[in-house]
Chain A
Amino acid sequence: MKVWVYGNDINTDMLFPGKYTYTCSKPEEIKPHLLEDLDPEFAEKVRPEDIILAGKNFGCGSSREQPVVGLKATGIQAIVAKSFARIFYRAAINQGLVLIECPGAKESYRPGDIVELDLDNDRINVGGKGFLFPQLPPEIQEIRAAGGLLSYTRSKLTAAKEENE
Chain B
Amino acid sequence: MKPPETFAQKILRRKSGNSVVPGQIVTCHPDRLLMHDNTAPIIAKVGKELKQFGLADPNLVVIVLDHVIPAASEKVAASHKKIREFVRKYGIHNFYDIGTGICHQVMVEKGLVVPGMLAVGSDSHTCSYGAVNAFATGIDRTEAAALLLTGKTWFRVPESIKISLTGQLNEMVTAKDLILTIINRIGASGATYCSVEFWGDIVNLTMDDRLTIANMGVEMGAKNAAFPVDNVTENYLESIGVLPDLYEPVWADQDADYKQAFTFDMAEIVPAIAAPHKVDNYRPVTDLIGLRIDQCLLGTCTNGRLTDFEIAGRILKNRKIHPSTRLLLLPASRNVLNQAMKKGFIQTLVQAGGVLLPPGCGPCLGAHQGALAPHERCLSTANRNFKGRMGCKDAEIYLASPATVAASALFGKITDPRKI
Contacts and interface: CB of A to CB of B under 8 A. Distances in A.
A37 B140 contact: no
Contact of B123 (A18, A56, A63): A63
A77 interface: no
A19 B388 contact: yes
Interface string A2-15: 00000011010110
Contact of B189 (A18, A21, A64, A83): A83
Nearest to A92: B140
Nearest to B121: A63
A157 interface: yes
Given A9-B188, A14-B386, A83-B192, A65 B140 contact: yes
B138 A63 contact: yes
Interface in A89-138: 90-91, 94-95, 137
A90 B154 CA distance: 10
Nearest to A88: B140
A87 B140 CA distance: 7
Nearest to A65: B140
Contact of A37 (B154, B365, B393): B393
Interface in A30-67: 37-38, 56-57, 60-65
Contacts of B367: 18-19, 21-22
Interface string B122-143: 1110100000000000111111
B288 interface: no
Contact of B366 (A19, A23, A87): A19
A37 B386 CA distance: 11
Q: What range describes how many residues of A lie at the interface?
A: 35 or more
Interface stretch (B7-15, B144-152, B318-326, B408-416): B144-152
Nearest to B49: A154
A137 B365 CA distance: 35
Nearest to B141: A65
Contact of B386 (A11, A56, A68): A11
A14 B221 CA distance: 17
B75 A137 contact: no
Contacts of A8: 189
Given A13-B384, A19-B391, A139-B27, 6 more contacts: A22-B367, A23-B76, A57-B221, A61-B384, A86-B223, A90-B140
Interface of A: 8-9, 11, 13-14, 17-19, 21-23, 25, 37-38, 56-57, 60-65, 68, 83-87, 90-91, 94-95, 137, 139-140, 148-150, 152-154, 156-157, 161
30 contacts: A8-B189, A9-B189, A14-B386, A14-B387, A17-B388, A18-B366, A18-B391, A21-B67, A22-B367, A61-B124, A63-B123, A63-B126, A63-B140, A64-B38, A65-B142, A68-B140, A84-B192, A86-B193, A86-B223, A87-B124, A87-B139, A90-B143, A91-B142, A94-B140, A94-B142, A154-B49, A156-B150, A157-B49, A157-B149, A161-B53
